[in-house]
């Protein structure tokens, strides 16, 4: 089965899946392979015999230790994998066709506490090159609503500062607007913080880490955690929190869900259902009552 997994991940590379997605799919399949080995079904002839019954048995095993969202991710990996095997003629019937995914209740984005975003964005010390880099990262995340993977993949050429935009490549390629404040900060960052901090002069990465190569997921998580602590934010705060704040603030400002769909690069409006509650009267009233900048706006 190892050969099949290698062929599968090679196809995902060709389809321009992100490295993080490919790694997640690979790990999910290796866990599935370990389970098959326990059942002595990890060789190709046995894989051809797998039915929806075996998949649902595996789903039951996952349910003992994982939440529905994680189970769905595992099942999505299997669906992609068996679709690949079907398309390449290595299996006849796709056992995933009759598998029912667990239903997931949408988790609503948390209401931001007063001043959290403002405090976070003002925390990095711009007099130090790392502080200026960190502030630029936070501003880009909040002003564009990018996913962490999209931020990590940005190159200097991705910035279209004259157009106040950033070009996002990959599966959800699109142009996303930037705020004037973010543009000004990025110009300062490019002039004063990035030069000399890249290990290889020809490296196009927009945000290098301490070692001079493209900053990692862990690096961004650490800097957010550090600045959130300095800003006095006690609860969990991560890149997704800034993405949610971006969407919620735009909706409260009057943007409809179609606009969020475009900015996030979603294909279906249903993907924005998470934010459908934001325009509800009680949500807006609470926001206006408790957010320090809402009344001024």
Domains and CATH numbers, the chain: 2-98 (1.10.150.130), 116-290 (1.10.443.10)
- What is the rounded distance in angstroms from the CA atom of residue 182 to the CA atom of residue 168? 16
Are 162 and 128 a contacting pair, CB within 8 Å?
no
Beta-bridge partners for 166: 159, 176
Q: How far apart are CA 212 and CA 198, in angstroms?
A: 4
213 and 219 in contact (C-beta within 8 Å)?
no
Lowest mean pLDDT among 34-38, 85-89, 90-94: 90-94
The C-alpha R_g of the chain, in whole angstroms, comes to: 22
Secondary structure (3-state) at 155:
strand
**What is the per-residue pLDDT across 202-251, written as a single tens digit (0 to 9) for each?**
999 999 998 999 999 999 999 999 998 898 887 777 788 888 888 887 87
Lowest-confidence pick of 46-55, 107-116, 164-173, 244-253? 107-116
Cβ–Cβ under 8 Å, residues 74 and 31: yes
Give the largest Cα separation in the chain, rounded. 68
Which pTM value belongs to this model? 0.61
> How many CA atoms are closer than 13 Å to the CA of 3, on its beta-carbon side?
4
């Amino acid at each position: 089965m190892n050969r099949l997994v290698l062929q599968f991940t090679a196809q995902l590379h060709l389809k321009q899946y992100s490295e993080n997605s490919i790694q997640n799919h690979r790990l999910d399949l290796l866990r599935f392979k370990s389970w098959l080995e326990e059942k002595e079904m990890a060789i190709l002839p046995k894989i051809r015999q797998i039915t929806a019954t075996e998949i649902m048995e595996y789903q039951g095993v996952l349910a003992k230790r994982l939440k529905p969202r994680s189970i769905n991710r595992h099942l999505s990996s299997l669906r992609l994998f068996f679709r690949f095997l079907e398309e390449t003629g290595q299996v006849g019937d796709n056992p995933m066709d009759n598998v029912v995914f667990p239903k997931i209740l949408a988790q609503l984005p948390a209401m931001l506490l007063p001043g959290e975003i403002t405090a976070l964005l003002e925390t990095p010390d711009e007099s130090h090159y790392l502080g200026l880099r960190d502030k630029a990262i936070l501003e880009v995340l909040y002003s564009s609503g990018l996913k962490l993977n999209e931020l990590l993949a940005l190159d200097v050429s991705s910035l279209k500062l004259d157009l106040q935009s950033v070009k996002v490549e990959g599966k959800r390629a699109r142009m996303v607007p930037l705020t004037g404040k973010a543009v000004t900060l990025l110009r300062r960052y490019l002039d004063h913080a990035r030069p000399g901090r890249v290990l290889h002069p020809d490296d196009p990465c927009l945000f290098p880490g301490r070692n001079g190569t493209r900053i990692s997921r862990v690096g961004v998580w650490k800097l957010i955690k550090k600045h959130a602590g300095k800003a006095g934010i006690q609860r969990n705060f991560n890149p997704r929190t800034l993405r949610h704040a971006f969407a919620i603030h735009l909706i409260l400002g009057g943007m409809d869900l179609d606009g969020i769909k475009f900015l996030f690069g979603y294909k279906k409006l249903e993907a924005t259902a998470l934010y459908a509650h934001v325009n509800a009267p009680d949500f807006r009233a609470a926001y206006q009552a408790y957010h320090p900048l809402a009344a001024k706006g």
